[in-house]
Amino acid sequence: MSRITLFTDSRVPCPQRLLLTIHELGLQINDIREVDISKFEHKRPEILELNPFGAVPFIRDETYDPPLMLTESRAIARYIAQAYGSSDVSAALLPDPTNVVAVAKFEEAASIELTSFDACANQLVFEELFKPSWFNGETDAEKCKLLREGLVRVVDLLDKRLTDQQFMAGGKLTVVDLFFVPYMHHLVSTVYPTLLDSRPHLSAWWERITSRESYKHLFGDSKKN
Amino acid sequence: MSRITLFTDSRVPCPQRLLLTIHELGLQINDIREVDISKFEHKRPEILELNPFGAVPFIRDETYDPPLMLTESRAIARYIAQAYGSSDVSAALLPDPTNVVAVAKFEEAASIELTSFDACANQLVFEELFKPSWFNGETDAEKCKLLREGLVRVVDLLDKRLTDQQFMAGGKLTVVDLFFVPYMHHLVSTVYPTLLDSRPHLSAWWERITSRESYKHLFGDSKKN
């Protein structure tokens, strides 16, 4: 049992990135506080006092004195993988820290996820899914056209990258694979169902991801949630 | 002398992020190949063969067999800091890898730079500086208004974050501070000269950064290049 309190909105992609990591690690978090971002609860004074950035997820880990407060889904995922993950390097969700090349390729993959994939996928899913359904907003069609073009370039490159490696950072699953999952789920399930067609290596990676218990636990077994 | 070949365009922010790190480390790179992105040289077949993402900077390090090819400015900066940086933890540009909390706060800062600061600063500097001056494009005033509002929120939070720590990831300079520098330079020098006004902690951080040899070497001593 960890001494972590998790502040989250389990329905949205950034917290889900962290939830996948928690599930992969088998980490027990009993104190989970749901913060409803559709009601702007993340902007309430008591939340802003804990996380001035006014975003979820964030954690408080009382293992330390003073407790460690940590924001940013990817940083939290890395932290819990290091602090609570397997000491067996092959099973860990992080690269072997003593292998400089493995760490470098991991950081390259982590940067690609953020600067290339998320830069398109995040905005496209927002425009076409969350903006109309959650915020009563109008999808910007011209913007979506450009985002789709950018996304196609990115997935072509990811498909190429996966030609001779099973996972985004190399031969084993790392947190970087999990960073891709929530937006990829929404793209493949609803926003852009043909995205993986004719991209065999990326499709095979997605099969590997969606057959994992962490994915099934979060999104169900249908891949169509 | 390293066995690194650096492919770069030394005039633009992402490569400059890496150049600052190289200078801070005192790393000698003799083989520097300039790739003129204003002439789209980064999209030429011989460059795409080396880096399918068609971007600079990237490196080839012949210390390894096969040579290590690495893209993404932030990943390369982390790599050279680990592979060629000081073994003295207090002087290194990375956190002490055995200090889980220090690593966590470093990763939080690294994520904030990308998801909050770069998300506004990168686009704003492009719209107001590079788009009109390099690409003969027209600045999108409405977009810039929103980006400026977002940027103000970010710098307010960074100012607060720096209240009780000297650098972005804690008490010492790390690569994350350097990640902020190129876009901050363009904001403060030309695009948004009043950005640091009434933000004393962020201003003090910027004084610390701009008084360093790495900054002076790259941008000159006037802070107004």
CA torsion sign, A53 to A57 to A60 to A63?
A: negative
Q: Quote the minimal CA–CA distance from A221 to chain B in Å.
A: 31
Instruction: Please give the residue of chain A at the shortest CA–CA distance from B53.
Output: A157
Q: Is A43 on the interface with B (CB under 8 A)?
A: no
B60 interfacial to chain A (CB closer than 8 Å): no
Are B114 and A112 in contact (CB < 8 Å)? no
Are B157 and A104 within 8 A, CB to CB?
A: no
Q: What is the ipTM of this complex?
A: 0.95
CB contact under 8 A, B114 and A115: yes
CB contact under 8 A, A104 and B79: yes
pLDDT of residue A222: 53
Q: What is the DSSP letter of A164?
A: G
| Residues A205, A167 contacting (CB under 8 angstroms) | yes
B 127-166 residues inside an 8 A Cβ radius of A:
157, 160-161
Q: Please answer yes or no on whether A114 and B114 come within 8 Å at the CB atom.
A: yes
Instruction: Break chain A into its structural domains and give their ranges.
Output: 4-84, 100-219
DSSP A38-70: GGTGGGSHHHHHH-TT--S-EEEETTSSSPEEE
- Which CATH superfamily is A4-84 part of? Glutaredoxin (3.40.30.10)
Q: Considering only CB atoms, which chain A residues are within 8 Å of B62?
A: none
Q: Which residue has the tokens 């999990």?
A: A178
Type of residue at A170 = G
What is the tens place of the pLDDT at every residue in A42-55?
A: 999 999 999 999 99
Mean pLDDT per block of 10 residues along chain B (225 residues) reads 93 96 96 93 91 94 95 98 92 94 97 97 96 91 96 97 97 98 97 97 98 96 51
CATH fit for domain B100-219, picks 1.10.3720.10, 1.10.1130.10, 1.10.645.10, 1.20.1050.10: 1.20.1050.10
Asked if B75 reaches chain A (Cβ–Cβ under 8 Å), the answer is yes
State pLDDT tens for residues A137-158. 999 999 999 999 999 999 999 9
**Region of A40 on the Ramachandran plot (φ > 0 left; ψ -120 to 50 alpha; else beta):** left
